[in-house]
């Protein structure tokens, strides 16, 4: 099990405060809550690129969308109600029609990795067939990675 604390080069960092409703009967963060945090991370990542998320997730005017086609998360340490985390979002892979983002969760003031995950967004057209990533996203990613 690799629980490296190595920080990716280009990241967007955001705080995550654990709410009572995020926890399970054992008082630790329920696994599905991490996916919600990751989605918030995707939105913040896009905002940092200068791209309003609502214009990318479903753009009826230009006829494309960016649904999440796959997601995974591994948990290494328990996180409880009231804890504060740092979420680092980075680009793991860019393909012609897909973007995979990585998520690393740390306690607020510590370097120990508590969870990590990834999500792959695929560009689709009006017929739900895959298509190349929107040009404005490709251009923004080029600038982010340099």
What is the domain range of residue 138? 11-145
| In-domain check, residue 45 | yes
Q: How far is CA 39 from CA 26, 45, 66, 71, in A?
A: 24, 10, 12, 10
Whether residue 29 lies inside any domain: the answer is yes
Average pLDDT of the residues of the chain: 92
pLDDT at res. 146: 63
Q: Looking at residue 7, what is its pLDDT?
A: 40
Domain presence at residue 69: yes
- pLDDT tens, residue by residue, 68-123: 999 999 999 999 999 999 999 999 999 999 999 999 999 999 999 999 999 999 99
Q: How many CB atoms lie within 10 A of CB 91?
A: 18
Structural domain includes residue 21: yes
With left for phi above 0 and alpha for psi between -120 and 50, is residue 50 left, alpha or beta? left
Whether 4 is covered by a domain: the verdict is no
From first CA to last CA, the distance across the chain in angstroms is: 30
| CA nearest to 79, candidates 47, 37, 114, 54 | 114
Domain assignment present for residue 6? The answer is no
User: For the chain, how many structural domains are there in total?
Assistant: 1
Q: Rounded CA gap, 87 and 90, in Å?
A: 10
Residue 44 has pLDDT above 60, yes or no: yes
Alpha helices in 16-134 (DSSP H): 31-48, 54-57
- Running DSSP on this structure, what letter comes out for residue 134? P
Is 1 within the bounds of a domain? no
Residue 4 scores a pLDDT above 50:
no
Residue 1 has pLDDT above 70, yes or no: no
What CATH number does the domain containing 73 carry? 3.10.129.10
Which pTM value belongs to this model? 0.89
Q: Is residue 132 part of a domain?
A: yes
Phi first, then psi, for residue 12 (nearest 5°) are -110, 130
Nearest to 116 by CA among 17, 15, 1, 25: 1
């Amino acid at each position: 099990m690799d629980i490296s604390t190595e920080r990716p080069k280009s990241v967007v960092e955001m705080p995550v405060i654990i709410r009572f409703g995020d926890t399970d009967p054992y008082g630790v963060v329920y696994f599905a809550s991490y996916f919600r945090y990751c989605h918030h991370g995707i939105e913040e990542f896009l905002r940092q690129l200068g791209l309003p998320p609502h214009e990318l997730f479903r753009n009826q005017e230009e006829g494309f969308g960016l649904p999440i086609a796959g997601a995974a998360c591994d948990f290494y340490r328990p996180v409880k109600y009231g804890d504060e985390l740092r979420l680092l979002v980075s680009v793991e892979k860019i393909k012609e029609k897909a973007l995979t983002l990585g998520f690393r969760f740390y306690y607020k003031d510590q370097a120990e990795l508590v969870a990590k995950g990834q999500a792959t967004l695929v560009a689709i057209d009006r017929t739900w067939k895959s298509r190349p990533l929107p040009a404005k996203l490709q251009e923004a990613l080029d600038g982010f990675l340099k």
